[in-house]
């Protein structure tokens, strides 16, 4: 008797789940689900699939909001009035590697908590940028960023740990003369093209009283290496 009555059960059932937590007087729609055995074969139920569907549940998704941002890009380097340059004469542009090297030098000065950007910082910036001819020559001669930073601290000392560098540390007089020398060198050469990191490196070397020159000399850079760099087309 029980076996005959169970074999005629419907293939789907509707379950009404009352909400026992609703307050009196408030209408709440019942949660309705259709039950179908999925992948579960029960001959005595006469059903072959199971699925759960809820008509009262909805999921809302919200896309994340992206905040706009802005960035300032420097397209030139600060240079004073270069000797022999007239107002009508077009000043050569800096290469993007030279601009990036200068920007990395400023950042390195801030990391070391220095109040100014000196020739040593520009030298470190050249090595941080790393893809220029000047950077490759320095690395080929064993001059690395770690060594230059170490010699900088030995020469200039450590800054006060509570001191915070400005966003753009001002240039030292030596560093400013390096930039001016690079522009002047390019103008006097008469060649077209941009002012490169090689001009910066040579400017640091010829600024003999600067920390950058002293660090280069300590690490083995000499006149022979300078002549090698000057013989290359840059």
Average pLDDT over residues 162-191: 90
CATH of residue 180's domain is: 1.10.1780.10
**pTM (predicted TM-score):** 0.65
12-69 residue pLDDT tens: 444 444 454 445 444 545 544 444 545 445 554 454 544 445 445 455 545 545 444 3
pLDDT band at 185 (very low <50, low <70, confident <90, very high): very high
For the packed helices 119-129 and 145-156, what is the interaxial angle rounded to 10 degrees? 170
Average pLDDT over residues 133-148: 97
Within a domain: 71: no
Within a domain: 54: no
Within a domain: 37: no
203-216 residue pLDDT tens: 999 999 999 999 99
Within a domain: 61: no
- Which range marks the domain in which residue 195 is found? 96-231
Within a domain: 81: no
> Cβ(12)–Cβ(38) under 8 Å?
no
> Cβ(141)–Cβ(225) under 8 Å?
yes
pLDDT band at 99 (very low <50, low <70, confident <90, very high): very high
pLDDT band at 88 (very low <50, low <70, confident <90, very high): very low
Within a domain: 69: no
Total structural domains within the chain? 1
């Amino acid at each position: 008797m029980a076996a005959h009555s169970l074999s005629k059960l419907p293939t789907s059932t509707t379950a009404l789940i009352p909400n026992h937590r609703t307050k009196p007087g408030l209408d709440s729609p019942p949660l309705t689900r259709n039950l179908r055995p999925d992948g579960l074969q029960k001959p005595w139920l006469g059903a072959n699939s199971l699925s759960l569907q809820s008509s009262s549940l909805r999921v809302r998704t919200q896309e994340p909001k992206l905040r706009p941002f802005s960035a300032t890009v420097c397209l030139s380097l600060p240079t004073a009035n270069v000797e022999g340059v007239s107002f009508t004469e077009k000043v050569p542009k800096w290469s993007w590697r030279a601009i990036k090297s200068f920007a990395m030098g400023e950042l390195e000065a801030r990391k070391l908590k220095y109040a100014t950007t000196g020739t040593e910082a520009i030298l470190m910036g050249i090595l941080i940028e790393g893809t220029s001819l000047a950077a490759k020559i320095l690395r080929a001669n064993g001059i690395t960023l770690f060594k230059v930073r170490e010699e900088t601290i030995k020469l200039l000392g450590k800054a006060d740990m509570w001191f915070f560098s400005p966003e753009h540390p001002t240039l030292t007089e030596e560093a400013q003369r390096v930039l001016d020398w690079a522009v002047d060198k390019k103008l006097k050469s008469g060649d077209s093209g941009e002012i490169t990191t090689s001009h910066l490196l040579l400017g640091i070397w010829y600024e003999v009283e600067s920390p950058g020159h002293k660090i280069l000399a300590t690490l083995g850079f000499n006149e022979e290496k300078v002549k090698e760099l000057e013989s290359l087309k840059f």
